[in-house]
A = this chain, B = another copy of it.
Amino acid sequence: MSRAPYVSFAVRPESPGRRLGSRDVVEALSQELSLGRLPVGSRLPPVRVLEAQLGLSKNTVQTAYDELVARGLLETREREGVFVAARSAGHEVTPAFEAPLPKLKPPPDLGPTRIPRDSIMLSTVFVDPELLPRDRIEECARSVLREGLAPFYDAQGHPGLRDAIARRLRSRGMDVDADEVIVTCGSQQALDIVARASEVRRVAVESPTYSHARLLFENAGLNVTSLPFDPFRGIPLDEWEQEIRRARPGLLYNITSFQNPTGYSYSTHELTSLLSLAERYGFSLLEDDWGSDMLSGSEYRPMLRLLGGKNVLYVNSFTKKLWPSLRVGFVVAAPHLVPALIAQKRLSALGNPWLTEATVAEFLERGYYDAHLGSLQRELDARYAACLETLSQLMPEGVRWTTPGGGPTLWLELPRSVDLEKLRERCALRKVLIESTRNHFAGAPNLHGFRVSFAFSPVATLRRGLEILAEEITRA
């Protein structure tokens, strides 16, 4: 910085509305100076600045400064400006306050913020960007820019995008209107605004579940009930009913296809049973349907939102399937719940960037999304098959894995004798990264393993990662 900051002070006209004159400036400044409010040596605003701010002519300001310099209260320094003189009543020291440090809650352990470059990511839920349609997204963004950036955002979300989303959901059997869609920053913001808006502060979640949902609910002060399940056996509906009867959640959050982190998909019977439980115990449903678009032939798969109607809150996102850095997701809600959710979105972020929403709208309108999903599903199915094959070849006795039938991940279950934390450390030394799974469980872990991602790395890379993993498991 080439110059010192300058002090500011108020100049008020004798009576409101009257034009300011140099008298007003002299009086305001000499009062500040006589009260010692302007430190000795501090710089006054340049004439042109006061001119613009006070609507005075240059002359008027200069006249005022000249008078105060003549009275010895200010002094002029060549090429530097006008400063508070030592003769003024100002203190010698520049105020060296240090404001008190804000007290913030310690951050919950969310895992690493960034993805390291030179390691094999064995547990990520992200899909290999090579399988995602970067060129076509860029093409859509360029097309949007050609039409021109809209100046304002829509708090509910880009109308064309909401319309395209509603049309797509209708083609999959759900009764959805564009006005029932709220576009969000990925599904995380969708979960956040539901959590903020929920009147009943008790939520039930699968255990294990998506860790950032559980941590969000806890951080928002919701009481979280754990509904344990074993992905090798399905949903224990009787146990869940007992737990629900005891805890009386207002909301049940679940992931109905390719459950994160287990890869489990609910059967139709399990979904309708959940709906019966919801009716019996009066809780509402928050369905996270991130997975079904990754399932081959999923266009007619019935989700909770289809079976249970408009009262089911339905969340989905384009993050994993289209392009992570776009940050576009959405929640679908019954019409009269929409204002409460938009209000929470406005309080948290007002609205999201128009450009990315318009780009995704363009992508959907051109029919690119379903074409892309078709090829993505084929690729995921191939990688899934290769992963199963590799696991069968490499994994030692006692290791089991779920067979999700597609998607990006499966759950690898290890013998209890294997120390997961040590395994993680040993693999990390060999540049194979496994996630810590503690955060997935609401309550005590009922599984002993972690996600294996077959969607993120090419087959050969995944195989290398699994070889190292198998060696380290065997050594454990």
Contact = CB atoms under 8 A, between A and B. Distances in A.
A312 B8 contact: no
Interface string A34-53: 01011000110110110011
A301 B188 contact: no
Contacts of A359: 355
Contact of A52 (B104, B107, B188, B405): B405
Counting chain A residues whose Cβ lies within 8 A of the other chain, the interface size class is 35 or more
Contacts of A142: 142, 145
Q: Give this chain's copy count.
A: 2
A154 to B, nearest CB: 7
Contacts of A339: 107
A100 to B, nearest CB: 5
A354 interface: yes
Contacts of A215: 347
Nearest to A358: B325
A346 interface: yes
B302 A8 contact: yes
Contact of A327 (B52, B149, B352): B352
Contacts of A334: 101-102
A355 B142 CA distance: 12
Contacts of A185: 185, 349-350, 352-353
A1 B347 contact: no
Given A49-B297, A99-B279, A311-B101, A324 B199 contact: no
A403 interface: yes
Given A12-B232, A52-B405, A53-B295, A37 B99 contact: no
Contact of A155 (B113, B265, B276): B113
Nearest to A45: B297
A413 to B, nearest CB: 8
A340 B282 CA distance: 36
A296 B173 CA distance: 57
A473 interface: no
A55 interface: yes
A346 B151 contact: no
Contacts of A170: 1
Interface string A73-117: 000000000000000000000010111111111111010011100
A82 to B, nearest CB: 13
Interface in A139-170: 141-142, 145, 148-156, 170
Given A55-B384, A188-B349, 19 more contacts: A1-B170, A1-B171, A4-B173, A5-B306, A7-B267, A7-B302, A20-B403, A48-B297, A52-B381, A99-B284, A100-B283, A101-B334, A102-B337, A103-B200, A104-B199, A107-B342, A113-B154, A134-B148, A141-B149
21 contacts: A1-B170, A8-B265, A8-B302, A17-B392, A52-B297, A52-B381, A53-B295, A97-B309, A99-B279, A99-B304, A100-B279, A104-B197, A104-B341, A126-B152, A138-B148, A141-B141, A185-B185, A212-B346, A216-B347, A325-B355, A326-B354
